[in-house]
Amino acid sequence: MRLYSGASTTFIEDATRNVISEKLRQAFFDYYRYMPSPGEIQSWNNSLLRISTVLEKSKLTDHGVMLEY
């Protein structure tokens, strides 16, 4: 199940502005018809912020990002 896809620059912006977990939460709900746990949402925030930092520092800004559950 794909929860997110987009350009790496958009992913970096979404992660650093803390909106990535809301986008994932909505996509999860749209597909499974129930909310992910608060722990899962917090995990998305923590791990994806770190991944976005790696992409940004490595200057990998001309790629795509896809997140699956």
pLDDT at 13: 97
pTM: 0.90
Which H/E stretch holds residue 5?
strand 2-7
List, for residues 19-62, the tens digit of each pLDDT value: 999 999 999 999 999 999 999 999 999 999 999 999 999 999 99
Greater confidence (20 vs 69) lies with: 20
Which H/E stretch holds residue 42?
helix 38-57
Residue 41 CB contacts under 8 Å (≥ 6 apart), including other chains? 21, 24, 25
Cα distance between the two ends of the chain: 5
Place of tokens 């597909």: 31
